[in-house]
Amino acid sequence: MPVKISTRNIYKNYGAVEALRGVSIDIHEGEVHAICGDNGAGKSTLIKVLAGVEMPDRGEVVIDGAPCRFTTPTESLKAGLATIHQDLAVAARMSIYENIFMGAELTKNVLGIRMLDKKKMRQDAAGYMSQLNKSITDMNIKVEELSGGQRQAVAICRALRWNANIVILDEPTAALGVRETEQVLELVRSLKQSGKTVILISHSMKDVVAVADRVSILRNGQNQIDLLAADLSADRLSHYILSGEVEQVQA
Protein backbone atom coordinates (compact mmCIF):
# COMPACT_ATOMS: atom_id res chain seq x y z
CA MET A 1 0.00 0.00 0.00
CA PRO A 2 1.56 3.36 -1.01
CA VAL A 3 2.38 6.00 1.58
CA LYS A 4 -0.09 8.88 1.41
CA ILE A 5 1.35 11.25 4.00
CA SER A 6 4.52 11.26 6.07
CA THR A 7 6.04 13.35 8.80
CA ARG A 8 9.81 13.33 8.59
CA ASN A 9 11.94 14.19 11.59
CA ILE A 10 9.51 16.82 12.94
CA TYR A 11 10.79 19.01 15.77
CA LYS A 12 8.77 21.68 17.59
CA ASN A 13 9.81 23.63 20.67
CA TYR A 14 7.86 26.10 22.77
CA GLY A 15 10.66 27.93 24.53
CA ALA A 16 12.44 25.35 26.64
CA VAL A 17 9.66 22.78 26.14
CA GLU A 18 10.43 20.18 23.48
CA ALA A 19 6.98 19.20 22.26
CA LEU A 20 8.17 17.12 19.29
CA ARG A 21 11.61 15.55 19.01
CA GLY A 22 12.12 14.01 15.60
CA VAL A 23 8.71 12.44 14.96
CA SER A 24 8.57 10.40 11.74
CA ILE A 25 5.39 8.57 10.78
CA ASP A 26 4.29 7.01 7.47
CA ILE A 27 0.54 6.84 6.90
CA HIS A 28 -0.60 4.63 4.05
CA GLU A 29 -3.21 5.59 1.50
CA GLY A 30 -6.76 4.54 2.39
CA GLU A 31 -6.00 3.37 5.93
CA VAL A 32 -7.18 4.46 9.34
CA HIS A 33 -4.03 5.33 11.26
CA ALA A 34 -4.38 6.12 14.96
CA ILE A 35 -1.90 8.29 16.82
CA CYS A 36 -1.90 7.57 20.53
CA GLY A 37 0.02 8.54 23.61
CA ASP A 38 -0.39 9.80 27.14
CA ASN A 39 -0.94 13.49 27.93
CA GLY A 40 2.10 15.48 26.83
CA ALA A 41 3.17 12.86 24.30
CA GLY A 42 3.03 15.38 21.44
CA LYS A 43 -0.16 14.31 19.67
CA SER A 44 -1.82 17.73 19.71
CA THR A 45 1.32 19.50 18.52
CA LEU A 46 1.76 17.04 15.66
CA ILE A 47 -1.83 17.61 14.55
CA LYS A 48 -1.32 21.37 14.70
CA VAL A 49 1.66 20.99 12.37
CA LEU A 50 -0.37 18.90 9.93
CA ALA A 51 -3.28 21.33 10.10
CA GLY A 52 -1.10 24.37 9.41
CA VAL A 53 -1.76 25.88 12.84
CA GLU A 54 1.90 25.54 13.86
CA MET A 55 5.07 25.42 11.77
CA PRO A 56 7.75 22.88 12.72
CA ASP A 57 11.19 24.13 13.75
CA ARG A 58 12.70 21.30 11.71
CA GLY A 59 11.48 18.50 9.52
CA GLU A 60 8.81 18.31 6.84
CA VAL A 61 5.42 16.93 5.90
CA VAL A 62 5.29 14.92 2.67
CA ILE A 63 2.01 14.28 0.82
CA ASP A 64 2.00 11.97 -2.21
CA GLY A 65 5.79 12.24 -2.33
CA ALA A 66 5.83 16.06 -2.41
CA PRO A 67 7.29 18.01 0.55
CA CYS A 68 4.80 20.49 2.02
CA ARG A 69 5.26 23.33 4.48
CA PHE A 70 2.01 24.78 5.74
CA THR A 71 2.05 28.30 7.13
CA THR A 72 -1.75 28.56 7.49
CA PRO A 73 -4.68 26.15 7.89
CA THR A 74 -5.87 27.21 4.43
CA GLU A 75 -2.67 25.86 2.88
CA SER A 76 -3.18 22.53 4.62
CA LEU A 77 -6.75 22.39 3.40
CA LYS A 78 -5.76 23.20 -0.17
CA ALA A 79 -3.31 20.30 -0.02
CA GLY A 80 -6.28 17.99 0.63
CA LEU A 81 -5.91 17.65 4.39
CA ALA A 82 -8.93 18.51 6.56
CA THR A 83 -8.80 18.57 10.35
CA ILE A 84 -11.98 18.00 12.36
CA HIS A 85 -11.19 19.43 15.78
CA GLN A 86 -12.81 18.24 18.98
CA ASP A 87 -15.03 21.33 19.24
CA LEU A 88 -16.25 20.68 15.63
CA ALA A 89 -16.68 24.43 14.95
CA VAL A 90 -20.27 24.00 13.80
CA ALA A 91 -22.90 26.72 14.08
CA ALA A 92 -25.64 25.13 16.17
CA ARG A 93 -28.43 27.49 15.11
CA MET A 94 -27.74 27.13 11.42
CA SER A 95 -29.03 24.32 9.21
CA ILE A 96 -27.02 21.32 8.07
CA TYR A 97 -26.53 22.63 4.54
CA GLU A 98 -25.57 26.10 5.81
CA ASN A 99 -22.88 24.54 8.00
CA ILE A 100 -21.51 22.40 5.20
CA PHE A 101 -21.19 25.39 2.86
CA MET A 102 -20.24 27.96 5.49
CA GLY A 103 -17.74 30.38 3.97
CA ALA A 104 -18.09 28.85 0.51
CA GLU A 105 -21.75 29.41 -0.29
CA LEU A 106 -22.99 28.62 -3.79
CA THR A 107 -24.66 31.43 -5.73
CA LYS A 108 -26.68 31.86 -8.90
CA ASN A 109 -27.49 34.79 -11.17
CA VAL A 110 -31.15 35.83 -11.18
CA LEU A 111 -31.95 38.78 -13.45
CA GLY A 112 -28.44 40.09 -13.01
CA ILE A 113 -28.47 39.72 -9.22
CA ARG A 114 -26.24 37.23 -7.38
CA MET A 115 -28.32 35.18 -4.96
CA LEU A 116 -27.64 32.18 -2.75
CA ASP A 117 -28.40 28.92 -4.53
CA LYS A 118 -30.01 27.23 -1.56
CA LYS A 119 -31.54 24.44 -3.65
CA LYS A 120 -28.15 23.44 -5.05
CA MET A 121 -26.52 23.60 -1.62
CA ARG A 122 -29.24 21.40 -0.13
CA GLN A 123 -28.87 18.89 -2.96
CA ASP A 124 -25.09 18.77 -2.70
CA ALA A 125 -25.22 18.58 1.10
CA ALA A 126 -27.58 15.60 0.86
CA GLY A 127 -25.13 13.92 -1.50
CA TYR A 128 -22.24 14.37 0.94
CA MET A 129 -24.35 13.19 3.86
CA SER A 130 -25.50 10.07 1.99
CA GLN A 131 -21.87 8.92 1.92
CA LEU A 132 -21.77 8.93 5.72
CA ASN A 133 -25.23 8.73 7.26
CA LYS A 134 -28.19 7.80 5.08
CA SER A 135 -30.63 8.33 7.97
CA ILE A 136 -30.16 12.12 7.79
CA THR A 137 -32.06 13.35 4.74
CA ASP A 138 -33.44 16.78 5.67
CA MET A 139 -30.68 19.32 5.13
CA ASN A 140 -32.83 22.10 6.64
CA ILE A 141 -32.58 20.65 10.15
CA LYS A 142 -30.76 22.90 12.60
CA VAL A 143 -27.51 21.41 13.89
CA GLU A 144 -28.61 22.07 17.49
CA GLU A 145 -31.27 19.38 16.98
CA LEU A 146 -28.69 16.72 16.12
CA SER A 147 -26.91 14.24 18.35
CA GLY A 148 -23.17 14.43 18.93
CA GLY A 149 -22.52 11.69 16.40
CA GLN A 150 -24.70 13.41 13.81
CA ARG A 151 -22.86 16.68 14.37
CA GLN A 152 -19.62 14.86 13.63
CA ALA A 153 -21.18 13.79 10.34
CA VAL A 154 -21.92 17.43 9.48
CA ALA A 155 -18.34 18.45 10.24
CA ILE A 156 -16.98 15.59 8.14
CA CYS A 157 -19.32 16.50 5.26
CA ARG A 158 -17.68 19.91 5.25
CA ALA A 159 -14.34 18.13 4.73
CA LEU A 160 -15.86 16.16 1.84
CA ARG A 161 -17.08 19.41 0.31
CA TRP A 162 -13.49 20.67 0.51
CA ASN A 163 -12.47 17.57 -1.49
CA ALA A 164 -10.16 16.51 1.32
CA ASN A 165 -8.63 13.07 0.79
CA ILE A 166 -6.90 13.04 4.20
CA VAL A 167 -9.17 13.58 7.21
CA ILE A 168 -7.82 14.13 10.72
CA LEU A 169 -10.28 13.37 13.52
CA ASP A 170 -9.17 14.83 16.85
CA GLU A 171 -10.85 12.99 19.75
CA PRO A 172 -14.08 12.47 17.78
CA THR A 173 -15.82 10.40 20.48
CA ALA A 174 -14.88 12.53 23.49
CA ALA A 175 -17.87 13.10 25.80
CA LEU A 176 -20.18 10.97 23.63
CA GLY A 177 -22.42 8.17 24.86
CA VAL A 178 -22.21 4.56 23.70
CA ARG A 179 -24.73 4.92 20.86
CA GLU A 180 -23.26 8.20 19.59
CA THR A 181 -19.74 6.77 19.79
CA GLU A 182 -20.77 3.87 17.57
CA GLN A 183 -22.24 6.38 15.09
CA VAL A 184 -18.88 8.13 14.89
CA LEU A 185 -16.99 4.86 14.45
CA GLU A 186 -19.32 4.06 11.56
CA LEU A 187 -18.43 7.44 10.06
CA VAL A 188 -14.76 6.49 10.26
CA ARG A 189 -15.47 3.19 8.53
CA SER A 190 -17.47 5.00 5.85
CA LEU A 191 -14.58 7.39 5.19
CA LYS A 192 -12.22 4.45 4.73
CA GLN A 193 -14.67 2.68 2.43
CA SER A 194 -14.87 5.81 0.28
CA GLY A 195 -11.08 5.74 -0.13
CA LYS A 196 -10.16 8.50 2.31
CA THR A 197 -7.06 8.33 4.48
CA VAL A 198 -8.02 8.88 8.12
CA ILE A 199 -5.74 10.01 10.95
CA LEU A 200 -7.41 9.30 14.27
CA ILE A 201 -6.35 10.84 17.57
CA SER A 202 -8.11 9.26 20.53
CA HIS A 203 -7.70 8.48 24.20
CA SER A 204 -10.22 5.64 23.84
CA MET A 205 -8.23 2.50 23.21
CA LYS A 206 -11.46 0.58 22.59
CA ASP A 207 -12.34 2.93 19.74
CA VAL A 208 -8.83 2.74 18.30
CA VAL A 209 -8.71 -1.04 18.07
CA ALA A 210 -12.27 -1.05 16.67
CA VAL A 211 -11.45 0.98 13.55
CA ALA A 212 -7.69 1.50 13.10
CA ASP A 213 -5.46 -0.40 10.71
CA ARG A 214 -2.23 0.77 12.34
CA VAL A 215 -1.29 2.65 15.49
CA SER A 216 1.64 4.97 16.18
CA ILE A 217 2.46 5.60 19.82
CA LEU A 218 4.21 8.81 20.82
CA ARG A 219 6.01 9.26 24.12
CA ASN A 220 7.61 12.49 25.34
CA GLY A 221 7.51 13.98 21.86
CA GLN A 222 9.19 11.02 20.19
CA ASN A 223 8.20 7.91 18.27
CA GLN A 224 7.75 4.95 20.54
CA ILE A 225 6.54 2.28 18.13
CA ASP A 226 4.20 1.52 15.21
CA LEU A 227 1.82 -1.40 15.61
CA LEU A 228 -0.71 -3.34 13.57
CA ALA A 229 -4.10 -2.77 15.18
CA ALA A 230 -5.20 -6.29 14.30
CA ASP A 231 -2.66 -7.58 16.84
CA LEU A 232 -3.95 -5.37 19.64
CA SER A 233 -6.56 -5.35 22.36
CA ALA A 234 -7.57 -2.18 24.17
CA ASP A 235 -5.85 -3.37 27.36
CA ARG A 236 -2.66 -4.27 25.56
CA LEU A 237 -2.52 -0.91 23.80
CA SER A 238 -3.11 0.91 27.09
CA HIS A 239 -0.26 -1.06 28.64
CA TYR A 240 2.12 -0.05 25.87
CA ILE A 241 1.20 3.62 26.20
CA LEU A 242 1.42 3.77 29.99
CA SER A 243 4.45 1.57 30.55
CA GLY A 244 6.53 2.50 27.53
CA GLU A 245 7.31 -1.20 27.17
CA VAL A 246 6.45 -2.94 23.93
CA GLU A 247 6.94 -6.34 22.42
CA GLN A 248 8.42 -6.69 18.97
CA VAL A 249 5.19 -6.59 16.96
CA GLN A 250 5.92 -3.55 14.86
CA ALA A 251 3.90 -2.75 11.74
169 shares a domain with 235: yes
Which of 134, 163, 192 delimits the end of a domain?
163
In whole angstroms, give the CA distance from residue 59 to residue 11. 6
Which of 135, 163, 191 delimits the end of a domain?
163
User: 139 near 161, Cβ under 8 Å?
Assistant: no
Containing structural domain, residue 138: 93-163
**Which pLDDT score, from 0 to 100, does residue 2 have?**
84
Based on the structure, what is the number of domains in the chain? Answer: 2
User: 76 near 43, Cβ under 8 Å?
Assistant: no
| Cα separation values, 212 from 89, 140, 198, 249, Å | 25, 33, 9, 16
Which of 113, 135, 163 delimits the end of a domain?
163
85 is a domain residue: no
152 shares a domain with 199: no
44 is a domain residue: yes
**Which pLDDT score, from 0 to 100, does residue 206 have?**
95
60 shares a domain with 10: yes
Mean pLDDT per block of 10 residues along the chain (251 residues) reads: 91 95 96 94 94 95 94 93 85 94 92 93 94 90 92 90 92 86 91 94 94 95 91 90 66 52
64 shares a domain with 106: no
Report the CATH number at residue 190: 3.40.50.300
6 is a domain residue: yes
Angle at 151 between CA 146 and CA 154, to 5 degrees: 115
User: 46 near 35, Cβ under 8 Å?
Assistant: yes
150 shares a domain with 35: no
119 shares a domain with 146: yes
DSSP the chain: --EEEEEEEEEEEETTEEEEEEEEEEEETT-EEEEE-STTSSHHHHHHHHHTSS--SEEEEEETTEEE--SSHHHHHHTTEEEE-TTTT--TTSBHHHHHTTTS--EEEETTEEEE-HHHHHHHHHHHHHTT-TT---TTSBGGGS-HHHHHHHHHHHHHHTT-SEEEEESTTTT--HHHHHHHHHHHHHHHHTT-EEEEE-S-HHHHHHH-SEEEEEETTEEEEEEEGGG--HHHHHHHHHH----S-B-
71 is a domain residue: yes
48 shares a domain with 145: no
Other CB atoms closer than 10 Å to residue 136's CB: what's the count? 18
User: 197 near 167, Cβ under 8 Å?
Assistant: yes
141 is a domain residue: yes
134 shares a domain with 14: no
137 shares a domain with 56: no
250 shares a domain with 170: yes
106 shares a domain with 72: no
Can you name the residues that pair with 184 across neighbouring β-strands? none
**Which pLDDT score, from 0 to 100, does residue 141 have?**
96
Can you name the residues that pair with 214 across neighbouring β-strands? 33, 228
148 is a domain residue: yes
Global pTM value: 0.90
246 shares a domain with 170: yes
